[in-house]
Amino acid sequence: MWQARLSELLSASGAGRDEEILAAARLLLRELDAAGRHGGVNVIDIRGAKGVQVGDHNTRTNTFN
């Protein structure tokens, strides 16, 4: 929602040419990716959930009586 406006403001401010800001942004992105956010890994909280299956390439069979 705010991406376009934020992009405009950052461009107008010259932040894209400020090496200190760029270095901080790169560090932030590295730290975020260390948690696996860009590597296809998701952090999920399933406390209280029922009938949940987590993971890749799973098979599930439900039998209702």
Q: Please, are residues 48 and 38 in contact by the beta-carbon 8 Å criterion?
A: no
CA torsion sign for 51, 38, 28, 17 is negative
Tokens of 47: 């406390």
pLDDT at 18: 92
pLDDT at 63: 84
pLDDT at 23: 93
pLDDT at 24: 93
pLDDT at 19: 93
Rounded Cα gap, residues 36 and 44, in angstroms? 12
CA-angle at 62, arms to 40 and 47, nearest 5°: 50
Rounded Cα gap, residues 21 and 40, in angstroms? 27
pLDDT in tens, the chain (65 residues): 788 998 899 899 999 899 999 999 889 888 877 665 555 566 778 888 887 888 778 888 888 87
